[in-house]
A = this chain, B = another copy of it.
Amino acid sequence: MLKAQFDHTNCSDCPIRHRAVCAHCDVDELEALEGIKYYRTFEAGQTVIWSGDQMNFVGSVVSGIASLTQTMEDGRTQMVGLLLPSDFVGRPGRETAPYDVLATTDLVMCCFRKKPFETLMGSTPHIAHRLLQMTLDELDAAREWMLVLGRKTAREKIASLLSIIARRDASIAPKQKPGPIVFDLPLTREAMADYLGLTLETVSRQISALKKEGVIELEGKRHVTIPDMRRLMDEAGDDSDGGFLV
């Protein structure tokens, strides 16, 4: 039994809550994964993969944040997804990347070579199922975000983003106290603007406004405290506190 080599205690890099398909948590056929799994690290700002490039791996984020970004010829850009630790990247059965993947912060990814991974998927229906589930989740998140982009005001957009990051952060370090939520913004104002379909100036102004009105507290430019999560979510226009994730 090879399992011992790959169990959680042997893999300090991977967080326990590895939602993605991963040797440590999901696959008994560990022999099949030996040699096709590897780690890659990126510095903040580096491009993981360019839109249109050959994509010969799939994988999941171990630490750091990556973004999926689309760009028009004239330079307008829209972030179409945010990859937080445990999120999966890649398209089984797709040759090229449909958008740029950028390391927003320093980034560690746990990758699998694509071909063998696909083979494994063919012989392990359980993985295909898992992947389908995850893709459906992503689709829901994308569609939820369409409502944000299409119908919310700048202020609501900012509040929506903050509450997503807060919730996501809390679930990774699930010390869910009833008290204030504290986290560091992993995105620059510009990255937030690209995610929200705004300009960085508008982002800055709205954050200042939320701060002045006490909805959030700021220490420096990135360290955020949310004294009352309920209030933030009201600002976001969300009714359901039902957990949609990025």
A77 to B128, CA, bound (A): 34
Contact string, A83-115, partner B, CB cutoff 8 A, digits 1/0?
Answer: 000000001111000110000000000000000
Query: 24 pairs across A/B with beta carbons < 8 Å?
Result: A68-B143, A70-B143, A70-B144, A70-B146, A72-B239, A77-B151, A91-B136, A93-B133, A98-B140, A98-B143, A122-B125, A128-B128, A128-B129, A132-B135, A135-B135, A135-B139, A138-B139, A142-B142, A142-B143, A146-B146, A149-B149, A149-B197, A150-B196, A151-B197
Task: Judge whether A78 and B147 touch: CB under 8 Å.
Answer: yes
**CB contact under 8 A between A70 and B147, given known A139-B135, A139-B138, A139-B139:** yes
Q: Does A186 contact B (CB under 8 A)?
A: no
Task: Judge whether B72 and A147 touch: CB under 8 Å.
Answer: yes
Task: Judge whether A146 and B147 touch: CB under 8 Å.
Answer: no
In the complex, besides A70-B147, A135-B139, A138-B139, 20 extra interface pairs with C-beta distance below 8 angstroms are A70-B143, A70-B144, A70-B146, A72-B237, A72-B239, A73-B239, A80-B143, A81-B143, A92-B132, A93-B132, A93-B133, A122-B125, A125-B125, A125-B128, A128-B129, A131-B132, A132-B135, A139-B142, A142-B142, A149-B149
**CB contact under 8 A between A150 and B149, given known A128-B132, A135-B132:** yes
Nearest-Cβ distance from residue A206 to partner chain B, whole angstroms: 16
Number of copies: 2
Task: Judge whether A80 and B128 touch: CB under 8 Å.
Answer: no
Contact string, A179-204, partner B, CB cutoff 8 A, digits 1/0?
Answer: 00000000000000000110000000
A140 to B135, CA, bound (A): 11
A68 to B139, CA, bound (A): 12
Q: Does A221 contact B (CB under 8 A)?
A: no
Chain A interface residues toward B at CB < 8 A: 68, 70, 72-74, 76-78, 80-81, 91-94, 98-99, 122, 125, 128-129, 131-133, 135-136, 138-140, 142-147, 149-151, 196-197, 237, 239
Please name all residues of chain B whose beta carbon is closer than 8 Å to the beta carbon of A91 when the two chains form the complex: 136
Which chain B residue has the least Cβ–Cβ distance from A80?
A: B143
Which chain B residue has the least Cβ–Cβ distance from A150?
A: B197
Which chain B residue has the least Cβ–Cβ distance from A133?
A: B93
